[in-house]
């Protein structure tokens, strides 16, 4: 993990949001993500991590996308009936911090950003993924719910899930389903043990509140166990609830989670493909037995704050 990153004199918000960008193949869609950040009613600070393998021209391209975030609107002309494009540019700059990283998994990225939030005394921490869209009023709504629910430490949006651009349902809504939670809107251990039903993207987390139940090495905290594959955030959420950290789903759609069918999975993402066992191991997939191992392990390891570094071993 990187040395400390001092942002205290530059910060403009009580909320730090982390995003890891390792692919600049579609800057138009990436700029839509940044545009959604620029339009937040409650302004946030954005920590943008990128691989240390990026060359100068890639870093410059990333900076340009951050400085000129925009969306492209396509609609039919009333005069000609033809499809025309209109560019809407962000009217306010994003407060962002660029930093290269060697982190190569979602757990490592989450932890790196979390420590930056703690070191710089941010009240809240959040993580998003590139190409997704943050609801323009989401962080304002989440902060309002946080003010009204001081005993709750984690606030998650209802997520609009799209697959190849087509609406595919809602995520994080299970806490509001009748009879599933002990208290409507709140995640409890019984619910999480039955269903892996909370996605952490876009969530607003009280940084100091969860630090107590994270492994600490030196001055660094490790909220998500980096040795666990695919079920890392599932174990994290169960551990937090087990330790009486309150988790709530805000009854607002605040995040759009975009998925495209793919034959590759990059472990820097927490969007576990439904067909991950059909993806080759070389392309980031896991076998059925390994997938089951990690899910079962999450249900055993949440009792322990420290990462016990359990390993999967292929059975012969």
> Would 20 be classed as within a structural domain?
yes
> Would 309 be classed as within a structural domain?
no
> Would 315 be classed as within a structural domain?
no
CATH of the domain at 191: 3.90.550.10
Helix axis angle, 232-242 relative to 106-119, nearest 10°? 50
Query: What distance in Å separates the CA atoms of residue 39 and residue 209, rounded to the nearest whole number?
Result: 28
Quote the pLDDT of residue 2: 47
Which has more pLDDT, 2 or 171? Answer: 171
pLDDT exceeds cutoff 50 at 1? no
> Would 168 be classed as within a structural domain?
yes
Q: How many domains does the chain have?
A: 1
Tell me the residue range of the domain where 277 lies: 15-76+84-301
> Would 8 be classed as within a structural domain?
no
User: Could you report how far apart the first and last alpha carbons of the chain are, in Å?
Assistant: 35
Query: What distance in Å separates the CA atoms of residue 62 and residue 179, rounded to the nearest whole number?
Result: 46
Query: What distance in Å separates the CA atoms of residue 74 and residue 84, rounded to the nearest whole number?
Result: 6
> Would 35 be classed as within a structural domain?
yes
Query: What distance in Å separates the CA atoms of residue 25 and residue 231, rounded to the nearest whole number?
Result: 28
Based on its alpha-carbon atoms, the radius of gyration of the chain, rounded to whole angstroms, reads 20
CB neighbour class for 170 (10 Å; exposed up to 12, middle 13-18, buried from 19): middle
155-168 average pLDDT score: 93
The torsion angle over the Cα atoms of residues 256, 250, 220 and 94, rounded to 10 degrees, is 50
Quote the pLDDT of residue 289: 95
Quote the pLDDT of residue 85: 81
106-116 average pLDDT score: 98
Which has more pLDDT, 132 or 82? Answer: 132
116-141 average pLDDT score: 97
pTM, full prediction: 0.94
pLDDT exceeds cutoff 80 at 316? no
């Amino acid at each position: 993990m990187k040395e400390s990153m001092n942002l205290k004199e530059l910060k403009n918000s009580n909320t730090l949001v982390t995003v890891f960008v390792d692919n600049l193949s579609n800057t138009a869609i990436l700029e839509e993500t940044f545009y959604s950040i620029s339009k937040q009613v409650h302004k946030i600070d954005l920590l943008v991590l990128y691989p240390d393998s990026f060359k100068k021209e890639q870093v410059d391209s990333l900076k340009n996308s951050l400085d000129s975030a925009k969306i492209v609107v396509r609609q039919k002309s009333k005069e000609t009936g033809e499809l025309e494009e209109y560019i809407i540019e962000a009217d306010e700059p994003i407060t962002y911090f660029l930093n290269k990283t060697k982190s190569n998994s979602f757990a490592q990225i989450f932890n790196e950003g979390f420590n930056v939030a703690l070191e710089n005394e941010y009240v809240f921490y959040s993580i998003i993924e590139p190409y997704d869209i943050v609801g323009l009023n989401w962080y304002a709504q989440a902060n309002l719910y946080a003010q009204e629910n001081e005993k709750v430490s984690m606030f998650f949006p209802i997520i609009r899930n799209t697959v190849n651009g087509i609406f595919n349902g809602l995520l994080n809504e299970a806490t509001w389903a009748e009879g599933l939670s002990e208290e409507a809107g709140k995640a409890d251990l019984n619910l999480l043990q039955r269903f892996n039903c909370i996605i952490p993207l876009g969530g607003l987390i009280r940084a100091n509140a969860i630090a107590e139940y994270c492994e600490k090495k030196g001055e660094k905290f490790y909220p998500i166990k980096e040795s666990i594959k695919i079920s890392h955030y599932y174990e994290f959420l169960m551990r937090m609830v087990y330790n009486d950290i309150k988790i709530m789903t805000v009854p607002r759609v605040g995040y759009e989670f975009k998925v495209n069918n793919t034959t590759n999975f990059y472990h820097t993402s927490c969007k576990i493909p439904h067909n991950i066992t059909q993806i080759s191991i070389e392309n980031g997939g896991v076998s059925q037995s390994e997938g089951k191992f990690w899910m079962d392990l999450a249900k055993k390891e949440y009792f322990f704050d420290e990462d016990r570094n359990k390993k999967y071993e292929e059975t012969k």
